[in-house]
A = this chain, B = another copy of it.
């Protein structure tokens, strides 16, 4: 059909090339013209985003209070339908911008989490939900959009304590998102995404502590963060007055995206959520 190669280990960029489709034969063109999509089951597609941010050393997630049925009055992850002409990533970016009014000089991270499509997960019909995760530095509470009576950041602890009920299968999506984010901090530099442009090592450590629910040794953490190449870059400044103690040196995020070696969670923080929740073992009969 064309000449684009298969992705190889020696040419990793080729993985992003899709084989363009060019109908060649008349039979092929006739098939495409006669193709009737209505004989296949049709569904609706939404994107939902777990937008995480850090406030006062506590992990927060943005929720909206649903203004309409179904689950009217319930808190839910923000999201919406995918438009016909946009990619899934673009739909997630659009929703993220709508919900948070990003000003353009914001820094953040967005990635696909997974897709949830059980029949019955939405009483309106078969709706496939592609869930995303966004990590943002502290941003203001958003204005309520047309779809949301209220929208605000909730501390995860408060959600648990007040036993807030989330709409649809969002309890599971949020749990998966938390586990994914906690795991990603281990082997990527994404923790800096939660921090302001300049941050102290204590700021950075609090990100890990909030995400893992564990206290970390400040001395060992500081040593490790500075040893890891490209993680943090020391500035010739100090911050004073932010706390009661001595002034702390300021850092910026480095160039690295992966952490070598990894910053592994202590064992007691490993099973905060069930690992590998999405995996299905076909049979384990050993």
Contact = CB atoms under 8 A, between A and B. Distances in A.
A282 B32 contact: no
Q: Which residue, A71, A83, A171, A276, has most C-beta atoms of chain B within 10 A? A: A171
A8 interface: yes
B41 A42 contact: no
Contacts of A12: 175, 271-274
Contacts of A171: 4-7, 14-15, 17-19
Interface residues of A, number: 118
Stoichiometry, copies per complex: 2
A81 interface: yes
B87 A2 contact: no
A236 interface: no
Q: Which residue, A12, A21, A106, A278, has most C-beta atoms of chain B within 10 A? A: A21
Interface string A230-261: 00000000000000000000001100011011
A109 B168 CA distance: 28
A152 interface: no
Contacts of A275: 257-258
A84 B119 contact: yes
Interface in A125-156: 125-126, 128, 130, 134
A281 interface: yes
A121 B3 CA distance: 17
Nearest to A267: B260
Contacts of A168: 18-19, 21
Contacts of A105: 283, 285
A242 B103 CA distance: 64
B41 A43 contact: no
- List of 7 A-B pairs having minimum Cβ-Cβ separation, nearest first: A15-B175, A111-B279, A7-B175, A108-B282, A31-B69, A18-B169, A8-B160
12 contacts: A5-B165, A6-B165, A6-B174, A17-B172, A19-B167, A19-B171, A41-B81, A107-B286, A110-B280, A111-B280, A258-B276, A260-B267
Interface of A: 1-10, 12-19, 21, 23, 27-28, 31-32, 35, 37, 40-45, 68-74, 81-89, 93, 96, 102, 104-112, 114-119, 121, 123-126, 128, 130, 134, 159-160, 163-172, 174-176, 188, 197, 213, 252-253, 257-258, 260-262, 264, 267, 270-286
Given A18-B118, A88-B118, 4 more contacts: A3-B165, A17-B172, A19-B74, A134-B282
